[in-house]
Amino acid sequence: MILASTLSPLMGLALVVAAFGVAVFTFYGILGLVRKKPQTVPAVPDDQTEGPPKPPEGTGVPHIKLLWWAYIASDCMLFGSLIAGYLVYKGRSLTGPWPLDVFDFQTTTISTFILLTSSLTMVLQLAAIQRGDLGKFRLWNVATILCGLVFLGYQVFEFSTFIEEGLTMQTNLFGASFYLLTGFHGVHVAVGVLWMILLLVHSFWGGVTKKKAVHVEVAGLYWHFVDVVWIVIFSVVYLMEMPGS
Amino acid sequence: MSNKNNNYLKIAVILTLVTVVEVMLPSWSPQTVYNVLLLSLAALKFWLVIQVYMHLKKDPALLGWIFGMGVFLIAGSAWAIIVMLNPNAAQPSPRSEVAHQTPEVVEIEVANPCHTPDPTPTNPCEGGEVVEMEVANPCEGGNALTKDEMIALGETVATQLGCSACHSVDGSRLVGPSWKGLLGREQEMDDGTTIIVDTAYIRESVLDPMKRAPKGFIKGMMPMGLTMTASDEEVEALLHYLASL
């Protein structure tokens, strides 16, 4: 019951964010696949090998990339305020469990390392599809998915251990701000994994090609950003609590 | 493997090494130094991922500006949030001013018999017993308040924290029970018991409102973190005020 009541707000959030991810993907992924007519403006404007030279675009950046960078900038503000919220409440809980009672630094370090590795596989995945190497693309794509899943698996394990030890969202300020921040991040990872899986499926339908590499690139932008956010969370939330400091 | 991939691998190795350094950082260093080191290393990793994995280094400056704007806005807002909500910040709140005025009052009392230059062994102040807050002992240390001052400060604190939005002092029922005659009144609780309100119960109601509620009131309505911006002394004063009504 405690589990259910703690996770239900997170589930609500998960649904909203996942719905957004699916909507965006449907728009860019599936519609991109269905639309078979020759495009006047190719997805990759600097791909000058075929067709007549195009007039320069306004920004020199594919629109989809501009869109995702704008999204990332706004996501930055979301996570920034959650982190600021965590810091404001830090050390002000009136009752335990306190961070040191529940944190497991070793396991968190390993899962951090795994998330960092997934950024490498992500960028290798993009390099492969930019070369047109579909086999390597799938290999690194699956590796990215696995890393993401391991990270999520650890987070589920971490949350359930914390709840067993008596820390829920309602327990104290630490619980509320911690679950909100890391839960939000976890939902982002989950959406990223979903996106990777869809890219994989899409690649079997013939929708992932060298010419459309920009679709993988924006997925990568999102993935790396979620990784970068974790870098900050790991330092601010976990490492700053290290015993003795 | 292409040159590009080698580059990506190098970055991954650097990221891992930095993480190892972060975890190994001697936590014996002073807290501020430790935090600054951690944040700089996190910023280094952040920057590497953004520049190399997310290709900001090669992409048009526009994308960097969009992202930089997001980071700038939230960094500013986060700083503002943390400074504004931090009770130890340079700007004294009206509440702490009340507490700061008291030393002047105490100075007037310096001329009292307890501080005569030639104290006799029978001086009641020499006993060194712990003096209860309730005892308005004029011989007490620098900024202890008399009972009346505690109650006055408590009233200010209650107003500042917005308790009066839900509690009246005239016996009328708002969102929460009225505070009129709180101490010593007989009260039916939601778990079926009937209690006589004592100071321990008042303390529990304020600091741990989820524990139990009076019959007819909803548990969970009373906000838990309200007292978090108050100092220990202010919370004590608040409790004195509640018991005095």
User: Of A76-90, A156-170, A177-191, B138-152, where does the model show the most confidence?
Assistant: A177-191
Q: Are residues B124 and B84 in the same domain?
A: no
Burial classification of residue B165, based on how many CB atoms lie within 10 Å of its CB (0-12 exposed, 13-18 middle, 19 or more buried): exposed
Residue A196 confidence (pLDDT) above 90:
yes
Query: Domain boundary residue among B35, B56, B88?
Result: B88
Contact B220, B210 (CB under 8 A): yes
- The pLDDT, as a whole number, for residue A41 is 54
Q: Within this chain, do residues B62 and B140 fall inside the same structural domain, yes or no?
A: no
Q: Indicate yes or no: CB of B66 within 8 angstroms of CB of A69.
A: yes
- Determine the pLDDT at residue A48: 53
**Pair (B34, B108) in one structural domain:** no
Same domain, B131 and B31: no
Which amino acid is present at B125?
Answer: C
> B115 or B43, which is more confident?
B43
Assess A118–B contact: CB distance below 8 Å, yes or no. no
Please state the domain count of chain B: 2
Confidence band of A186 (pLDDT split at 50, 70, 90): very high
How close is the nearest chain B Cα to the Cα of A92, in Å? 6
The confidence score (pLDDT) of residue B25 equals 80
pLDDT tens digit sequence for B86-142: 655 433 333 333 443 333 333 333 334 444 344 344 444 444 444 344 433 444 444
> What residues form DSSP beta bridges with B189?
B214
Same domain, B201 and B179: yes
Same structural domain for residues B73 and B142?
Answer: no
Whether residue A90 lies within 8 A of chain B, CB to CB, comes out as no
Say yes or no: B83 and B124 in one domain: no
Q: Same domain for B128 and B147? A: yes
**Residue B69 Cα, gap to closest chain A Cα (Å):** 7
Say yes or no: B54 and B159 in one domain: no
Element (H, E) at A47: none
| Cβ contacts from A onto B, under 8 A | 150
Domains and CATH numbers, chain A: 2-32+62-95+105-241 (1.20.120.80)
Q: Is there a single domain that holds both residue B45 and residue B110?
A: no
ipTM of the prediction: 0.73
Q: Are residues B72 and B189 in the same domain?
A: no
Range of the domain at B21: 3-88
Query: Are both B7 and B117 inside the same structural domain?
Result: no
CA angle (B37 as vertex; B31, B39 as ends), nearest 5: 100
Check whether A44 has a pLDDT greater than 60. Answer: no
End position of a domain, from candidates B48, B64, B88: B88
CA distance B3 to chain A (A): 11
Interface test with B, best of A231, A232, A242 (most B CBs within 10 A): A231
A77/B77 CB distance under 8 A: yes
Lowest pLDDT segment from B6-10, B35-39, B121-125: B121-125
A100 in contact with chain B, both atoms CB, cutoff 8 A? no
Cβ B66–A70 below 8 Å, yes or no?
yes
pTM above 0.90, yes or no: no
CB contact (8 A) between residue A65 and residue B63: yes
Nearest CA in chain A to B231: A92
Furthest-apart CA atoms within chain A: distance in Å: 69
* Domain edge (last residue) among B88, B122, B138: B88
Using CA atoms of B158, B162, B168, B172 in order, give the dihedral in degrees to the nearest 10: -170
Altogether, the residues listed in chain A come to a count of 245
